[in-house]
Amino acid sequence: MIPLRAFCYAGDMQSSLDQFVLIKASKSFGGVWSDDDYIVRDRARNVVVGRIMLHPQAPKDKPWFWTITAREIPPSVHNRGYSATREQAMADFKAQWLASINRDTRATRVIDATF
């Protein structure tokens, strides 16, 4: 499997410069998928953590849908959204990933401080 494009974040959760990779869904899942449907894979752990795709029912000005599906990120309405371009969807995905991790880290620190 050859990744189409790597993207990274500067977070503190097992971060590296190429943390996330977009892979066409058809190459990952097999079968017939749109050429504009990608899974987001965490390269370090080799697990799927999200999806980015051109959505047919998206708002016209923001046709790219992104969602975080990683188990370690608590479900939230903020873990998905629409973006104007695929690149913007990637940036929005990374920004929300970082926000989710930082929120989780702060909660852990507060809990640890009470014991």
Residue 80: per-residue pLDDT: 95
Residue 98: per-residue pLDDT: 85
Q: Which of 84, 81, 54 is nearest to 66 (CA)?
A: 81
Q: Could you give the number of structural domains in the chain?
A: 1
Query: Please, where are the H alpha helices in 1-115?
Result: 25-29, 86-113
Summarised one tens digit per residue, pLDDT across range 30-79 is 677 788 999 999 988 889 999 999 999 999 999 999 999 998 888 889 99
What is the average pLDDT value for the chain, to the nearest integer?
Answer: 77
- Domain extent at residue 36: 5-113
Residue 50: per-residue pLDDT: 95
d(CA 45, CA 50): 13
Q: Name the pLDDT band for 29 (thresholds 50, 70, 90).
A: confident
Is the separation of the CB atoms in 9 and 96 below 8 Å?
no
**Does pLDDT of 6 surpass 80?**
no
